[in-house]
Structure 1
Amino acid sequence: MSTGEPPPGPSEGPAQFAHVLPALAAYEEHLNPDSSARDRMRQRLLAEFPAAVREADRRPDPAARRRRFAVALAASVALLGAVSGMSLLLSQDAVPGDALYAVKRSAESAELGLTFRERPRGLKHLEFARDRVTELGTLRDRPGVADADFTRALGDFEADAAAGSRLLTELGADAEDQLFVALADWATSQLNRLRAAGPGLPAAARHRVLGTVELLERIRQRASELRQRAGCLTITSGAADDIGALPATERCVPAPAREAGALPSTGTNGRAVETSPTGTPTVRETPAPSAIPTTSAPPRTPVPVSPPKPSLPQVSRPVPVPSTPAPAGLLPGLLDLLKLPFGLLGQNR
């Protein structure tokens, strides 16, 4: 359908768009609020917003805060436990010079602190000392290891070996002489291991190993001497040094066999074994049984003799005897025996 007007030509289209674009830009500026309008809208929202909600936004709920803190604390503890457990697991093969070697030694110290009996603690010291020799072999096989790492491994070995020897010699002196044998065998085994590892160590470490070998020789000699006196009345002298109790030097007097729960035994020479508060047996001198007076008589003094007094007749009171009921079968027979004399008297009359 025609309107009577000719259609626009191609030159009129861009001219019309040129008028539309400024109109759209002006409309967009009219839709977007200016800064003053935004301030008015903000003030209106704040006036109509509940005051309680605004207060809650400024001050959070204490219970919610505690819950968030508890969750954060539990997560921190779990993370710390996981990291500690992983560190302990990875530190099993750590040697001096590694970053986790301090963690390994701290775990060993904690394990010793949780061991309350003396015998397991002494054996655990020897176990840790044996681990130091293993670490020494690992250091020997590594290239470029510092001399300070060898020195630390040997120093830790000597500390654990001396601590274990002190505990086991004191316990063996009390009643467990088999600990002397175990200590001597352990020292011999570690001597063989150190001597086998010595040639491959650096010069400074080989010089340091000589002191460790000397300490092991002393421990083995001390255990052997105490084992030889295990059957004596006195095993130790009551003194001690850095590796444990010192053996007694007097002549060995065989200790008598003691029964379980018996009192302190006394030897033929009158010496009794007592246990001091530190656990070291001591000997107490007691006089021989023949030297102990049975009665203590005062010095005799002359007593004046008086004339004898007339003796009065002594009257003995019958001692009441508690009556016990006779058996039922014997009672008739006893009554017949009592009646027999009276019957004979009646016949004689």
Structure 2
Amino acid sequence: MRRSSTVGVPGWFSRGRTESERFDDAIDASPGEQPEEFAEELALVGALRELGQAGRPDPATRARIRAEIEGRIGEPLPRRRWRPRMADLAAAGIALILGLGGLTLLLSRDALPGDALYSVKRAGEVTSLGLTFGDEAKAEKHLRFAANRVTELGRMNDAAPAAYQTALHDFGSDVRAGVAEFTELATTSGNRTGLTSLESWAQTQSRQLESEQAGVPESAREGFQQARLLLDRVQQRTSALGSRLSCYQITTGTTDELGLLPARGACTQQPLSPGGSTPSSPPPVPDSSVPSTDSPLPVRSSSSPTASGSPSTPAPTR
């Protein structure tokens, strides 16, 4: 029995503490030494102890549970099954389309007019032009595409007449677009070397067309002749514009399918005043409504100012 140390603790707290200590001693006592005053409480404590023992697993069950837990510790956790979402499917579809488009464009590089992939090749060239910055770069690309059509004509063996017509039509379209842009840039900047190079390019393409014309069908020879006539006009246009680069008036201010038309008449040099500056008014210029002799097509007005009348500034008309 433990001694109750209640000295100096007054009142009911001292009595309650003493009773609690006696009950604690009764629980720890053996069954023959338990006091009668706590008989009911001790019987309840014994019943609770028996109930706890009844719900406890036996040693065999505990050993089985332990072995199962230890076995699962070494096993990897099951992975969550991946399920494709709509965003993943859309991204995969876009990647597949882009991949197939790039592969198709790559395979179409060697396509000839009349082939199934030739339209894809032309679409790629149009896209390339749209992504090209600068008028000069676009003009050079047009002329490069036109030269490619001439090369393709030499590789077309036993092609249908419609294929030759397609190639010649695309050739003419690129020649007109490239020459129009290039001559405008050359006359604006006074690039005589550029005009000479363009004239030489037209001569080379004309000779190549002439060498390839013998092996084409009779129905396609007229298209070859029209293409060579177009190149002859390019040579005449570049030569005429180059000869007037030192003139006061270089162009008429009007255009046709090949671009700016060269001015006609005498080449009047821009006069200088005694002080070295240009006079307040330039000499009169001929009527710009008359088309150039090398362009039989109707003339349309250009967005650039015309050379008719007297300009307000002494700068030459391009």
Map residues 113-128 of structure 1 onto 2, 5 A cutoff: 113-128=130-145
2:242 is aligned with 1:227? yes
Residue matched to 2:310: 285
TM-score between the two structures when normalised by the length of structure 1: 0.56
Q: Tell whether the 8 Å contact from 1:256 to 1:267 is kept in structure 2 after alignment.
A: yes
- Give aligned-pair identity as a percent: 40
Residue matched to 2:128: 111
Query: Which among 270, 282, 288 is matched to residue 270 of structure 1?
Result: 282
- 1:283/1:255 CA distance change after superposition, 3 Å: farther
Distance 1:203 1:128 in 2: 25
Note the C-alpha offset of 1:96.
Answer: 1.1
Map residues 15-34 of structure 1 onto 2, 5 A cutoff: none
Residue matched to 1:248: 263
TM-score between the two structures when normalised by the length of structure 2: 0.61
Distance 2:214 2:131 in 1: 38
Equivalent residue of 1:285, what SS?
Answer: coil
- 1:73/1:189 CA distance change after superposition, 3 Å: same
Note the C-alpha offset of 1:208.
Answer: 1.6
* Greater relative contact order, per chain length (Cα 8 Å cut-off, separation 6+): 2
Residue matched to 2:225: 210
Equivalent residue of 2:85, what SS?
Answer: helix
- 1:279/1:115 CA distance change after superposition, 3 Å: farther
Residue matched to 2:97: 80
Residue matched to 2:196: 181
5+ long unaligned stretches in structure 1:
1-63, 258-264, 288-349
Map residues 1-349 of structure 1 onto 2, 5 A cutoff: 68-139=85-156, 142-143=157-158, 145-178=159-192, 179-255=194-270, 266=278, 270-271=282-283, 278-279=303-304, 282=307, 285=310
Give the letter aligned to residue 215 of structure 2.
G
Note the C-alpha offset of 1:123.
Answer: 1.0
5+ long unaligned stretches in structure 2:
1-81, 286-301, 313-318
Note the C-alpha offset of 1:234.
Answer: 0.9
CA RMSD of aligned residues (A): 2.8
Distance 1:68 1:199 in 2: 61
Q: Tell whether the 8 Å contact from 2:253 to 2:304 is kept in structure 1 after alignment.
A: no
Distance 1:184 1:148 in 2: 29
Distance 1:197 1:149 in 2: 15
Aligned residues: 211
